């Protein structure tokens, strides 16, 4: 019974496709998968924006939106209908393009932001047998597509013909490029240990159970460090606090999307959040076992439920961090990426190699754990002490 | 270790998040206008005039001395004295205000008018939902809108009303005592005038 | 199709030229306008940037000028008391006390003991809520999206509720009078205050874990915006900024006004003069304020709260000039009054601490990034009502 529940979407897809004549079936199947992604993830985005506002509100000891329900009725729904008026507002605002702006690039920038992000969903496994296209080099495809987002940021800043937008765009690109390297290097450790770039293989490697606990990569020392690095780098890639200088830079420069209003701004916003979901989805696949369950006696829960609950948990951690931490300054951001995360990622590769080649279980646990801890503490101390930062004591005058 | 304090900070935030569902102390929002906070005893918003009894015209305590008009810092009070007089709570004939206007958009709720009034007649109200759409005269309150009864004052500021009533009762008692003493002295003088001298037995002729 | 090579027809770029007629291509002039994203009020900074570094900074204010001193010279002394509330609108009790102190010096009035204790309690409560707010705003400027600010305001509400219970208004208290205070406090209020003060230490501990050793806060604030000791003294800086620069100067210990000599408290002094020191000095000052409050609430005697010789109406102090000052939460708040025997002052002047502390803003910001300039401004702790009067 649970197997049918697990494969319900796959079976539904096959049933729908069977109505189409034989030569058209692959095309119809792709079209249906694409429409599924296009329906589910923007809906997920709307719900997450409301969760974000309510979550941040509760952290700040206040209610978030809690009145808007279904429009034109009196049903309140605790504020979950808020995305309808917000979306309508964004759609009906006037679309202002600066007179001196480069019109074609100005128009294309949000589109170039959104399309690669949507493309990246094609390789993510949402459940058992539920990957849209399972390439042999799926991971490589994902990172290649993710790099195209940076072009969109630059296009937005350059075409606005605004000194401040350009500076903001430069900063955004510098940040995104710097954090691509720890992101990819932490994924490289997984590829090394599993031996394949195919995302289904990576999940299959984690789908084994010892003593009832799954072989998730995050349960190993190098996997834990890799996951932490991947998580911090994904915060920086999606321009979230504490790395949100490009977008919340309301100090002077309002960022690379100053000159956008209305629907184009909505597209940027959508692109940013969808990028966040995609990168979290990949992190779940690499480190948290994708659609597998952590303990062996819970495997009856459908796989897509596992995937989406892990995704929601990760997004909640994103929101939690956003509500708590202040922003880093630009040079401190770059310092952190190049002088802390990059060496740590390289050392992580070494540790993953040691793990892979040592065969005795308890020995490799001890060696790898001590190495991880030592590297983290040593590099962390170096980062803080280099600028003589630290706790201070104060004297009292008599 | 790097990141340790950040984790502690995040623990504080998480604690606030979970406790906001449980304790009122961590979710201090009051959803106005469905819920309202109870007002404090001493709250002052805008002034109002007190009248005793039921009739706002006859029982008005204000005698148009114009002290509050002079002492008001932003000069938001405008008083026009009457030409005739009416009796006040002590029974004396006093002038009363024909016009008593306070421009609430100028008033800064400092309550100096309340402090300097010698007649316990202007006090601070606690009503603040006074918004109006009329830009030019909507907040200019005249005597009719400002006059409220003493029972309203007792309801809104019970302690201050009790003190005010005590002062008024004391003044009344003093005035009555003075009037009684004056009446007694007058009665004595009248009795002395009516019967000028006690009957004096003429000196017995020897 | 428009590309950057061919701008549209009516558009012309005129480059800026310097004194020699050469193009000033490098420097970027920005006006961080009066409509500020940070929470400091209507204040403008004209900043000239070289890439990211600040080369020149000119503060422009006056957007909130309300003729306070001119009004003070045209109305009576008592009527000016509510206007002093609105100078530094966060700390109305301290403003009232400074003004009352000045006029009492001028007229030779004596304040009864219970009123002195009440004044100290109110002033220290004001200092607590001002520093709490300041820490909230300061972390908000750094980008923390308002979470510490919300916690700070939650605690501040408790203190404002106390103010409302005793004086009738939360912020514009109009509470001090020449010769004492306007209304007495009752035992219920003292019990409530004791509870608020007791809870405050716990709140400060929680707030401290949030911020004091947070690595991001450390990285953004240590060694940024340094104010050296000599410059601070020469520029007449007072208050926590001066103490953070390393100078031991607190008017409560120097002037010993009121009854501060009876309380046992210490003055924290910083070392580096950077933003982190200013923030930590304020946190430590809050703890000292809690100590003072506990002592005052314990020792407050019974008695009258108003000098019997003081008059409300027809108050004409004798002719003369006087300068009275208190240690406000932002610095030395002083009032200079020249009286000529009439009911109004002849000359009335306010020494605003925020205004004088702002004069040093350029020297602190030179060489730093533009994002640092915003945080440095936050650490100076200005309130525009006081800067502009």
Domain spans of chain B? 47-167
Q: Which domains does chain C have, with CATH numbers?
A: 27-60 (no CATH), 68-388 (1.10.645.10)
Task: Label residue C322 by pLDDT band (50, 70, 90).
Answer: very high
Determine the Cα angle at C361 with ends C375 and A327, to 5°: 10
| Portion of chain B with pLDDT greater than 70, in percent | 93
Position C3 pLDDT exceeds 50: no
- A377–chain B Cβ distance below 8 A for any pair: yes
Which residue from A241, A388, A394 is facing C284, i.e. has the nearest CB?
Answer: A394
ipTM exceeding 0.85? no
Which residue from A62, A248, A325 is facing C150, i.e. has the nearest CB?
Answer: A62
Are residues A145 and A116 in contact, defined by beta-carbon separation less than 8 angstroms? yes
A212: left (phi over 0), alpha (psi -120 to 50) or beta: left
Mutate to test the interface with C, among A154, A168, A248, A251 (most CBs of C within 10 A): A251
Cβ contact (<8 Å) for B12 and C206? yes
DSSP B62: -
The nearest alpha carbon in chain B to A67 belongs to B31
Partners of B31 on chain A (C-beta within 8 Å) are 63
Tell me how far apart the alpha carbons of residues A219 and C159 are, in angstroms, rounded to a whole number.
49
Per-residue pLDDT, A21: 85
Task: Label residue C1 by pLDDT band (50, 70, 90).
Answer: very low
Task: Label residue C346 by pLDDT band (50, 70, 90).
Answer: very high
Are residues C252 and C289 in contact, defined by beta-carbon separation less than 8 angstroms? no
Chains with ≥3 CB–CB distances under 8 Å to A? B, C
Residues forming beta bridges with residue C49, ordered by sequence position: C28, C54
Q: Which of C96, C35, C80, C42 lies closest to C387 in space, CA to CA?
A: C42
Query: Mind listing the pLDDT tens digit for each residue in A94-103?
Result: 887 878 777 8
Compute CA A350 distance to the chain's CA centroid, rounded to the nearest angstrom: 25
Task: Please state whether the peptide bond connecting residue B33 to the residue before it is cis, i.e. omega within 30 degrees of 0.
Answer: yes
Mean pLDDT, all residues of chain C: 86
Give the B-side interface with C, CB within 8 Å.
2-3, 5-6, 8-9, 12-13, 16, 28, 40-44, 67, 71-73, 108-112, 115-116, 124
Buried-state track A382-392, b at ≥16 Cβ within 10 A, e below 16? ebbeeeebeee
Per-residue pLDDT, B204: 55
Partners of B8 on chain C (C-beta within 8 Å) are 209-210
Cβ contact (<8 Å) for A395 and C269? yes
Position B193 pLDDT exceeds 50: yes
Buried-state track C37-56, b at ≥16 Cβ within 10 A, e below 16? bbebbebbbebebeebebbe
Rounded mean pLDDT, C79-101: 91
Chains with ≥3 CB–CB distances under 8 Å to B? A, C
Cβ contact (<8 Å) for B40 and C167? no
CA distance B20 to chain A (A): 6
CA distance C169 to chain B (A): 6
Which residue from B43, B67, B124 is facing C164, i.e. has the nearest CB?
Answer: B43
Position B19 pLDDT exceeds 90: no
DSSP, collapsed to helix, strand or coil, labels residue C8 as coil
Mutate to test the interface with B, among C168, C172, C196 (most CBs of B within 10 A): C168
Rounded mean pLDDT, C22-49: 74
Low-confidence residues of chain A, pLDDT below 50?
Answer: none
Task: Tell me the residues of chain C between 55 and 84 that have a Cβ less than 8 Å away from chain B.
Answer: 75-76, 78-83
Query: Mind listing the pLDDT tens digit for each residue in C184-210?
Result: 888 999 999 999 999 999 889 888 887
Rounded mean pLDDT, B174-203: 74
Q: What are the tokens at A34? A: 């694409």
Looking at the domain B47-167, which fold is it?
Answer: Alpha-Beta Plaits (3.30.70)
Partners of B3 on chain A (C-beta within 8 Å) are 380
CA distance A303 to chain C (A): 36
The nearest alpha carbon in chain B to A391 belongs to B5
Tell me how far apart the alpha carbons of residues B2 and A332 are, in angstroms, rounded to a whole number.
14
Mutate to test the interface with B, among C147, C148, C187, C210 (most CBs of B within 10 A): C210
Cβ contact (<8 Å) for A58 and B1? no
Q: Which of A118, A398, A386, A91 lies closest to A266 in space, CA to CA?
A: A91
Are residues A84 and A42 in contact, defined by beta-carbon separation less than 8 angstroms? no
Which residue from B2, B8, B72 is facing C209, i.e. has the nearest CB?
Answer: B8
pTM of the model: 0.87
- A323–chain B Cβ distance below 8 A for any pair: yes
Which residue from B1, B2, B13 is facing A59, i.e. has the nearest CB?
Answer: B13
Classify residue A201 by burial, with Cβ atoms within 10 Å: 0-12, 13-18, 19+. Answer: middle
Mutate to test the interface with C, among A248, A334, A393, A394 (most CBs of C within 10 A): A394
Query: Mind listing the pLDDT tens digit for each residue in B86-99?
Result: 777 777 788 888 88
The nearest alpha carbon in chain A to B16 belongs to A59
Rounded mean pLDDT, B42-62: 85
Partners of C276 on chain A (C-beta within 8 Å) are 392
Which residue in this structure is represented by tokens 């691509």? A180
């Amino acid at each position: 019974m649970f197997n049918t529940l697990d494969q319900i979407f796959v079976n539904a897809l096959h049933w729908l496709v069977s109505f189409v004549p034989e030569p058209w079936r692959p095309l119809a199947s792709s079209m249906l998968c694409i429409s599924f992604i296009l329906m589910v993830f923007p809906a997920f985005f709307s719900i997450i924006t409301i969760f974000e506002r309510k979550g941040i509100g509760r952290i700040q000891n206040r209610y978030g939106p809690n009145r808007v329900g279904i429009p034109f009725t009196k049903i309140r729904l605790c504020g979950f209908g808020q995305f309808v008026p917000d979306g309508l507002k964004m759609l009906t605002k006037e679309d202002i393009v600066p007179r001196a702006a480069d019109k074609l690039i100005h128009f294309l920038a949000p589109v170039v932001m959104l399309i690669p992000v949507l493309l990246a969903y094609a390789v993510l496994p949402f459940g058992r047998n539920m990957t849209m296209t399972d390439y042999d080099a799926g991971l490589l495809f994902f990172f290649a597509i993710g790099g195209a987002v940076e072009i969109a940021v630059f296009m937005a800043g350059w075409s606005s013909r605004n000194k401040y937008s350009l500076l903001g765009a430069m900063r955004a690109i510098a940040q995104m490029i710097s954090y691509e390297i720890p992101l990819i290097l932490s994924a490289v450790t997984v590829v090394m240990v599993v031996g394949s770039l195919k995302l289904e293989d990576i999940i299959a490697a984690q789908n084994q159970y010892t003593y009832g606990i799954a072989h998730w990569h995050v349960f190993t020392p190098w996997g834990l460090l890799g996951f932490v690095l991947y998580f911090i780098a994904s915060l920086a890639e999606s321009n979230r606090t504490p790395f949100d200088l490009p977008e919340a830079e309301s100090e002077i420069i309002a960022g690379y999307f100053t000159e956008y209003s209305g629907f184009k701004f909505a597209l940027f916003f959508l692109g940013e959040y969808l990028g966040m979901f995609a990168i979290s989805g990949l992190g779940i696949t690499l480190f948290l076992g994708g659609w597998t369950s952590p303990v062996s006696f819970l495997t009856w829960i459908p796989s897509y439920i596992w995937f989406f609950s892990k995704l929601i948990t990760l997004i909640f951690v994103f929101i939690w961090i956003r509500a708590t931490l202040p922003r880093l300054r630009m040079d401190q951001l770059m310092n952190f990426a190049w002088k802390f995360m990059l060496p740590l990622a390289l050392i992580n590769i070494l540790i993953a190699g040691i793990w892979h080649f040592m065969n005795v279980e308890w020995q490799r646990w001890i060696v790898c754990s001590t190495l991880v801890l030592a590297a983290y503490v040593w590099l962390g101390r170096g980062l803080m002490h280099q600028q003589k930062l630290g706790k201070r004591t104060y004297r009292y005058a008599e | 270790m790097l990141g340790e304090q950040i984790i502690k900070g995040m623990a504080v935030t998480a604690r606030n998040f979970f406790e906001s569902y449980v304790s009122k102390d961590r979710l201090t929002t009051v959803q106005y206008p469905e819920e309202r906070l109870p007002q404090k005893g001493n709250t002052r918003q805008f002034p109002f005039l007190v009248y005793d009894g039921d009739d706002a015209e006859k029982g008005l305590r204000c005698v148009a001395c114009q002290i509050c008009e002079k002492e008001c810092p932003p000069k938001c009070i405008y008083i026009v004295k009457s030409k005739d007089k009416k009796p006040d709570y002590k029974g004396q004939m006093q002038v009363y205000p024909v016009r008593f206007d306070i421009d609430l958009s100028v008033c800064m709720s400092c309550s100096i008018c309340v402090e300097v009034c010698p007649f316990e007649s202007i006090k601070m109200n606690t009503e603040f939902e006074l918004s109006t759409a009329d830009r030019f005269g909507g907040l200019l309150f005249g005597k009719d809108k400002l006059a409220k009864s003493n029972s309203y004052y007792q309801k809104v500021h019970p302690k201050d009303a009790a003190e005010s009533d005590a002062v008024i009762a004391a003044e009344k008692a003093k005035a009555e005592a003075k009037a009684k003493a004056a009446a007694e002295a007058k009665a004595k003088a009248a009795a002395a005038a009516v019967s000028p001298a006690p009957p004096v037995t003429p000196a017995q002729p020897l | 199709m428009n590309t950057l090579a061919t701008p549209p027809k009516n558009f012309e770029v005129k480059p800026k030229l310097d004194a020699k007629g050469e193009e000033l291509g490098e420097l970027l002039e920005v006006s961080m306008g009066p409509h500020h994203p940070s929470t400091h009020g209507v204040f403008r900074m004209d900043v000239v940037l070289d890439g990211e570094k600040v080369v020149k900074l000119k503060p422009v204010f006056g957007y909130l000028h309300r003729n306070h001193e001119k009004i003070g010279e045209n109305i009576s002394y008592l009527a000016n008391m509510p206007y002093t509330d609105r100078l530094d609108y966060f700390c109305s009790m301290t403003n009232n006390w400074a003004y009352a102190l000045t006029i009492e010096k001028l007229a030779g009035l004596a304040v009864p003991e219970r009123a002195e204790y009440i004044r100290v309690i109110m002033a220290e409560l004001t200092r607590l809520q001002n520093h709490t707010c300041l820490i909230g705003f300061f972390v908000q400027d750094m980008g923390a999206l308002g979470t510490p600010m919300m916690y700070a305001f939650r605690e501040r509400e408790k203190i404002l509720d106390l103010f409302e219970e005793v004086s009738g208004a939360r912020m514009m208290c109009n509470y001090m009078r020449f010769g004492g205070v306007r209304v007495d406090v009752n035992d219920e209020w003292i019990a409530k205050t004791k509870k608020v003060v007791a809870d405050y230490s716990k709140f400060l501990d929680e707030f401290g874990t949030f911020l004091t050793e947070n690595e991001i806060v450390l990285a953004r604030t240590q060694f940024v915006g340094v104010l050296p000791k000599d410059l601070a003294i020469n520029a007449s800086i007072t208050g926590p900024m001066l103490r953070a620069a390393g100078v031991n100067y607190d008017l409560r210990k120097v002037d010993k006004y009121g009854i501060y000599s009876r309380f046992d408290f210490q003055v924290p002094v910083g070392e580096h003069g950077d933003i982190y020191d200013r923030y930590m000095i304020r946190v430590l000052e809050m703890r000292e304020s809690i100590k003072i409050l506990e002592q005052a609430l314990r020792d407050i005697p019974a008695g009258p709260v108003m000098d019997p010789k003081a008059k409300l109406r027809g108050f004409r102090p004798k002719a003369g000039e006087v300068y009275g000052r208190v240690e406000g939460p932002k610095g030395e708040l002083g009032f200079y009054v020249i009286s000529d025997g009439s009911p109004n002052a002849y000359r009335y002047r306010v020494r605003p601490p925020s205004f004088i502390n702002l004069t040093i803003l350029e020297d602190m910001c030179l060489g730093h990034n533009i994002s640092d300039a915003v945080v440095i401004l936050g650490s100076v702790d200005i309130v525009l009502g006081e800067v502009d009067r």
